[in-house]
Structure 1
Amino acid sequence: MNDRRITPANARVALDGYADAGQAVVSPVASSVCVPVADLRSGPDGARDRQLLHGETFDVLEVQDGYAFGIAARDGYVGYVAQSDLGPAVDATHIISVRATHLYPTDDFKSEAVTSLPFGSRIRVIDERRKYMEVEGGLFVPKPHIRPLGRPFSDPVTIAQLLFGTPYLWGGNTSFGIDCSGLVQAGLLASGVSCPGDSDMQARLGADARDGYRRGDLIFWDGHVAMCVDEDVLIHANAYHMAVTYEPIVKAIARIKAQGDGDVTAHRRL
């Protein structure tokens, strides 16, 4: 059975190679997220599966009743995004490299910020000032808050630690709210490592590890994932604390089992 989350087809349209009888074969049309955060839903009236960040590419296969059906370019996740959350494709040059930033109408921190963007958002820089960069749309972002797309981070755990304290949000992918797989994906993508969106998909990353825990290892339970900070401590977004928190590995394993969520199902090393 095809996995809906990564199958670019619905009842009406499909990407070439995925069409069944009655489905029109269509070509994707690139767009970019034009709001700080857009929900990627299972259907026009469906639940939030994941979130897309400002400037990320969404390849549209169909627009109907105010929703665009398509594919998230970052990981191939398929779903529906409100049409109003999308705009023309933007050739981004930088990402927001801090927990969050503000965009200003002038290159002056005393001016009233127009909007806020979370870590990982993509922007296109068009001009440089002394302390700010002008981005497409005529707004300004502080220079220390951005990083060229061609310079990935070197350590996914550092990114997870940057997001320490972020509120837990089911299906969340941002520093405004994030879940367990969103945290892992944020760290890996920022470090130039391909990573799917959900924990069951992420459990296929890397190889089985059997010789103790190391920084960057992933620990899985049924429906949950955590990242090792070192041999004794993990970091994860979890509903128990409703935030991104540190926990001793042994304590977390015991607590999760005691609350009825079972034993560790996988220990993977990238």
Structure 2
Amino acid sequence: MDARLTPANARVAHESLRDQVDAPEYTQGTWHRIAGGVVDILKAPNGSRNRQALFGERVLQLEDHDGFAFMQAEKDGYVGYIASACLTDDVRATHWVCTLGSHLYPAPDMKQHEVDALSFGAQVTIVATANRFSETDTGLFVPTAHLCPVGTPHGDTVTNAELFLGTPYLWGGNSRAGIDCSGLVQAALLAAGYECPGDSDMQETLGTAIAEDAPLERGDLLFWKGHVAVVVDQMRMIHANAYHMAVAYEDIAAGVARIEAQGDGPVTARRRL
């Protein structure tokens, strides 16, 4: 079993795994929402970052141990640990942030000092709207122009990825503050209405294979071992990469040659949604 997707550790496992893994305890878990703007999903308590969760995203908490919640993210099934203090009650989200970023304010006034930053894809629960601001269930305010109703797709894969142009590269990142190749693809696809796992090796099974001699089209995905890019047109791709240390356009032919020359191998898959 892939540990990134298996809700089990040495102390507890999800009830659905009762006949598949041995654990001292099995649980159905409890649903919560992420309370901070961006929260690291860790491989182990106080360990390295695997991915990140955004404000308002829903997670299933299986355990609270020494200040860390062992959890599984609803959006992609990713399993890991987050600080327990970053969880709040499971209240149904009504809207999501469909601009690159936004802020939470203590009052419906852009001159107020922001309380938190929200990234593309963050979720909020709106209870009232007036004077260009929407009030959340916690009494904070978001610019209404930055929101779309939950369940409403936004843009296409390329348009969504292009929002992040210039965003610094961050291993395991999922936000405007820093993002990696698979985080960029996931954000772009989820917003466009597609399901998408969290890491590039998982994403390599999306859609259908494109023949080697077939021309590439806008929105196609190119994969290498440990890397993924989105095709913008037959000449260019966009990807979060450590060469530019940012989300950037790159000539496809030049990029393919560069990646192979630096020792990361050839393209391993070409996929179309």
Q: TM-score range by the shorter chain?
A: over 0.9
Which residue pairs with 1:112 in the alignment?
A: 113
What does residue range 37-48 of structure 1 map to in structure 2 within 5 Å? 37-48=38-49
Question: Matches of 2:22 and 2:253 in 1, distance apart?
Answer: 52
1:57-94 deviations in whole A, cap 9, x for unaligned?
A: 01001110000001000000111111011111121111
Match of 2:2 in 1: 3
- For residues 22 and 235 of structure 2, the distance between their equivalents in structure 1, rounded to whole angstroms, comes to 54
Equivalents in 1 of 2:56, 2:5: separation in Å? 21
Query: Post-superposition shift, 1:150?
Result: 2.3
What SS does the corresponding residue of 1:63 show, helix, strand or coil?
A: strand
Q: Distance in 1 between matches of 2:264 and 2:234?
A: 23
Gaps of 5+ in 2: none
Count of residues in Structure 1 that have an aligned counterpart in Structure 2:
269
Matched residue type, 1:260: G
Following the alignment from structure 1 to structure 2, what is the Cα–Cα distance between the partners of residues 238 and 83? 31
1:127 aligns with 2:128: yes
Q: CA deviation at 1:21?
A: 3.3
Are the aligned partners of 2:98 and 2:154 in contact in 1 as well (CA < 8 Å)? no
Tell me, what secondary structure is at the counterpart of 2:4?
helix
Secondary structure of the corresponding residue to residue 158 of structure 1: helix
Give the corresponding residue for 1:145.
146
Residue type of the alignment partner of 2:268: T
Deviations 1:6-45 (A, max 9, x none): 0111111111232333431101200000000110111113
Partner of 1:251, secondary structure, is: helix
Give the structure 2 partner of residue 250 of structure 1: 253
Q: Give the RMSD, CA atoms, in angstroms.
A: 1.0
In the other structure, the counterpart of 2:156 is 155
Q: Paired residue for 1:227, among 227, 230, 242?
A: 230
1:193 corresponds to: 194
Q: For residue 114 of structure 1, what is the amino acid of its counterpart?
A: V
Q: Deviations over 1:77-116 (max 9, x none)?
A: 1111110111111211111111111221211212222221
What letter matches 1:218 in structure 2? L
2:11 matched to which residue of 1? 12
TM-score in terms of structure 1 length? 0.97
Distance (Å, rounded) in 1 between the aligned partners of 2:16 and 2:102: 41
Amino acid paired to 2:267: V
Counterparts of residues 161-176 of structure 1 (less than 5 Å):
161-176=162-177
User: How far did 1:212 drift?
Assistant: 1.4
Equivalent position SS for 1:182: helix
Task: Give 5+ residue unaligned stretches, structure 1.
Answer: none
Q: Distance in 2 between matches of 1:74 and 1:28?
A: 16
User: How many angstroms apart in 1 are the aligned matches of 2:40 and 2:23?
Assistant: 28
Does the 8 Å contact 2:13/2:23 carry over to 1?
no
The SS at the match of 1:257 is: helix
Aligned partners of 1:105 and 1:83: how far apart in 2?
24
Q: Secondary structure of 1:39's partner?
A: strand
Structure 1 residues 249 and 88 mapped into 2: Cα distance closer, same or farther (>3 Å)? same
Note the C-alpha offset of 1:142: 1.0
Q: CA deviation at 1:130?
A: 2.0
Task: Give how far 1:231 is off.
Answer: 1.2
Give SS of 1:6's match.
Answer: coil
Aligned partners of 1:12, 1:53: CA distance in 2, in Å? 27
CA 1:209–1:14: 2 relative to 1, 3 Å = same
Q: Which residue pairs with 1:177 in the alignment? A: 178
- Secondary structure of the 2:158 match is helix
Paired residue type of 1:133: S
Q: Hey, what's the Cα distance between the residues in 2 that align with 1:22 and 1:255?
A: 46
Any runs of at least 4 consecutive aligned residues in structure 1 with deviations exceeding 4 A, and if so which?
Answer: none
